Structures are given as structure tokens and as C-alpha cells.
């Protein structure tokens, strides 16, 4: 595979804040290309992904309006809590879809901003782990976090890398009907490895090569049992690669999957990088 080159856009130094740089790249998603069956399936699916949570929220609001003042009576409190929880869940679902659409749009236009700072990547993953435990518990799944060290300091865009990791963990929970999700973090020489392992349904061997392609889902039918836009894995892979890393997968149908993020461990001088422009680097 050929090296992919990213070039920092030359901008006025005074406009740079918080180590923010603009990366230019050839469009990843190619929305302008026609006659793409996967893209057509995506467009057919995305309306379902947007309308379903909206219908749930709207239906709950209409029910509250019909109940009027009776909504706040003691015997209706359990109903209110149940519908409120349902609305919250579907709002978060809608937000994930919208975030993925925004990210894909940025990637397609060839522009992506990275705010590179030194962070403790173990702490970042611990925060994601704690925020997703309730989701896993709601499905009757166990979650484990393994790390021999409490601190690995390296430079990355915390918001975007966290979103990529969250996409992978959410997928693991979504496609694991029973069992366990295990997240493992380890450092080896000048690389850090983040593995998200599940005991889920796995990926068919004929789908492995295309699993990271945009608009691709193992089951793309509207009657599928799992929600999703088909953008999460491709966005996660793109974000990891922009950090000079790699995202790979090992999976067996019916046995589960392991997604492995490999990133370089490199700290930056944040004061100096604020004024760095016109630099290019390559992804091996």
C-alpha cells in the first residue's frame, strides 16, 4: 500500500490556537463519485437511522401531552421515568449518527483539524470505559479494563481519538449478545497498543477486507437487528491513521472480534508546535 501524505495548510501563525493545525488530504469517502452500490445502500439506510430515534422522541412527547397533568401523579412516575430514559437513549443515538455524518463530511472535503497535546492515554481510555459500562450492563455484558501501567503520556487529539475508541467499544457492545468486552492497553518500546476484544457474533471471512470501507455494513438491510450508519469503523480508521497509527481486526464468525489500535508514543513541545506550519509527514 502506498504511503499517504498529509500536508499542513499554511495559515497565519496568529490564527493557530491550542496546537491546532489543518491537515489536507485527498477525499476519503468520495461522496462525489456516482454508481457506488455501498453508497446507495448507505443513503437508503441513513434516513432510517435518523427517523427512528426522532419518531421515538416525538412519540414520547406526544404521549406526555396526552397525559397532561396526570403525568405527574405518583402512579405515573414509573412510566415517565421509562419514557424519559427511552428518549435519552435515542437522543444519544441520534447524536452519534450526526457526529459521524459531520466527521465524514470533513474527511470527504479533505480537511480535518487536529488539536495535538500531551495526554495520558490510559486515563482517556479509563474515562471511556467508565462511560460505557452502564450501556454494557444494560445488555447483561461484563466489561474489563487491563493495563499494567497507569500512565502513558503521548501526543494526540483527545476528542477525536476518544471518539474513534468509543466507536469501536460501542460496536463491540452492540454486536455481542452475551459474554464480555475486554479493553487492554499496553506499551511496547515506542508504540502503544489498544485492543478491544469481544465475544460477539464475529465477522464473516468474506467481509473482513471491506469492514473499514465507508458506507459498509456486514448486514446492510433495513430489517437488520443492529443500528448503525456504516461510517463508524471507516471514521475510526481514518482518525487513527491521521495520528500516524494503524487499526486492524482479527475475527472469527461466531467467536468474536479483536480490534487493535497501534499508535506511536511521542511527546511534543506544545509551545513550539503552536507556530509550526507547512510541515509534511507520511503514514507508513
Is 194 among the domain residues?
yes
Predicted pLDDT of residue 61:
83
Q: Which tens digits make up the pLDDT trace of 124-180?
A: 999 999 999 988 998 999 999 999 999 999 999 999 999 899 989 999 999 999 999
What pLDDT sits at residue 164? 92
Is residue 163 in some structural domain?
yes
Residue 51 lies in a domain: no
Domain count, the chain: 1
Return d(Cα 163, Cα 96) in angstroms, integer.
10
201-218 average pLDDT score: 79
**CATH number for position 242:** 3.30.565.10
Q: What is the pLDDT of residue 40?
A: 61
Domain around 194: 115-269
The pLDDT value given to residue 269: 84
At residue 64, the pLDDT reads 80
pLDDT tens-place string over residues 51-108: 777 888 888 888 888 878 777 777 677 888 888 888 887 887 787 777 777 777 677 7
- pLDDT by residue (tens digit) across 7-44? 333 344 444 444 444 443 444 444 445 566 656 666 66
Higher pLDDT, 83 or 248: 248
Up-side HSE of residue 206: CA atoms within 13 Å toward CB? 1
Q: Is the pLDDT of residue 278 over 60?
A: no
φ, ψ of residue 277 in degrees (nearest 5): -140, 160
C-alpha cell at 255: 467467536
8 Å CB contact between 219 and 226: yes
Comparing 279 with 122, the larger pLDDT belongs to: 122
Question: Does 82 reside within a domain?
Answer: no
Q: Which residue has the cell 509550526?
A: 276
Burial of 208 (0-12, 13-18, 19+ CB in 10 A): middle
Lookup result for grid cell 465524514: 104
Q: Residue 209: pLDDT band by 50, 70, 90 thresholds?
A: confident
When pLDDT is cut at 50, 70 and 90, the band that residue 195 belongs to is very high
Question: Per the domain annotation, does 18 fall within a domain?
Answer: no
Amino acid at each position: 500500500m502506498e504511503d499517504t501524505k498529509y500536508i499542513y495548510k499554511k495559515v497565519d501563525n496568529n490564527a493557530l490556537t491550542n496546537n491546532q493545525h489543518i491537515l489536507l488530504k485527498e477525499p476519503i469517502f468520495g461522496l462525489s463519485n456516482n454508481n457506488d452500490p455501498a453508497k446507495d445502500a448507505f443513503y437508503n439506510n441513513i434516513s432510517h437511522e435518523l427517523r427512528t430515534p426522532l419518531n421515538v422522541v416525538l412519540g414520547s412527547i406526544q404521549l406526555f401531552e396526552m397525559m397532561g397533568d396526570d403525568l405527574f401523579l405518583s402512579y405515573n412516575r414509573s412510566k415517565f421515568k421509562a419514557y424519559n430514559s427511552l428518549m435519552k437513549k435515542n437522543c444519544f443515538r441520534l447524536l452519534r449518527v450526526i457526529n459521524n455524518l459531520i466527521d465524514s463530511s470533513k474527511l470527504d472535503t479533505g480537511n480535518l483539524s487536529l488539536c495535538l497535546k500531551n495526554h495520558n492515554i490510559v486515563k482517556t481510555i479509563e474515562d471511556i470505559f467508565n462511560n460505557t459500562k452502564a450501556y454494557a450492563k444494560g445488555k447483561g455484558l461484563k466489561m474489563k479494563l487491563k493495563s499494567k501501567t497507569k500512565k502513558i503520556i503521548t501526543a494526540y487529539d483527545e476528542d477525536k481519538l476518544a471518539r474513534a475508541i468509543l466507536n469501536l467499544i460501542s460496536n463491540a457492545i452492540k454486536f455481542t449478545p452475551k459474554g464480555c468486552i475486554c479493553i487492554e492497553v499496553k506499551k511496547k518500546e515506542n508504540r502503544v497498543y489498544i485492543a478491544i476484544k469481544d465475544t460477539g457474533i464475529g465477522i464473516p471471512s468474506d467481509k473482513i477486507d471491506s469492514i473499514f470501507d465507508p458506507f459498509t455494513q456486514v448486514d446492510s438491510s433495513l430489517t437488520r437487528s443492529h443500528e448503525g450508519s456504516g461510517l463508524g469503523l471507516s471514521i475510526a480508521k481514518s482518525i487513527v491513521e491521521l495520528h500516524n497509527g494503524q487499526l486492524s481486526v482479527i475475527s472469527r464468525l461466531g467467536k468474536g472480534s479483536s480490534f487493535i489500535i497501534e499508535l506511536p508514543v511521542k511527546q511534543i513541545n506544545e509551545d513550539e508546535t503552536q507556530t509550526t506550519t507547512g510541515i509534511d509527514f507520511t503514514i507508513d
